[in-house]
Amino acid sequence: MNEAIPAAGKAVRQRLLVLYLGNASPDSPVVAWANYDGTGWPVDEAGECEQPPYPTALAAMRDGWRIVGFPPIHEPLPGREYETGHLHNEFILERLETVDVA
């Protein structure tokens, strides 16, 4: 990862990794995920992989991903503790990569 001004014929592009964890701690297990790749490389579509790219957000951080979005902590509403809905504990991570451009 190089965030300096890229050389001629190179450009910096952003990759995003969205991890939904079991709780609001970065070391809790990943339960769902999505990739968004601005570098132009093919990305697995949602549901194509059985295993997440990393077991935790902390593991992704150790591999060079930076957390740019941390989940707010929500108290469950009384009487609604067991209702399902959207996934909470969303961590948004980014990695900047230098790519060749025409």
Q: pLDDT digit string (tens) for 31-88?
A: 999 888 888 766 655 556 789 999 999 999 999 999 998 877 767 678 877 776 667 8
Q: Are 53 and 17 in contact (CB under 8 A)?
A: yes
- Give every strand in the sheet of 90-100, ordered side by side: 30-37, 10-21, 90-100, 66-69
Residue 20 lies in a domain: yes
- Average pLDDT of span 9-27: 92
pLDDT of residue 27: 96
Q: Are 6 and 98 in contact (CB under 8 A)?
A: yes
Residue 2 lies in a domain: no
Residue 3 lies in a domain: no
Q: Dig out the tokens for 86 from the structure.
A: 């959207």
Residue 5 lies in a domain: no
Q: How many domains does the chain have?
A: 1
Residue 24 lies in a domain: yes
Residue 1 lies in a domain: no
pLDDT of residue 22: 92
pLDDT of residue 65: 96
Instruction: Look up the pTM and report it.
Output: 0.75
Rg (CA), the chain: 16
Residue 4 lies in a domain: no
User: Domain residues for 91?
Assistant: 10-76+84-100
Query: Distance between CA 16 and CA 79 in Å, rounded?
Result: 35
pLDDT of residue 77: 73
Q: Dig out the tokens for 96 from the structure.
A: 């900047």
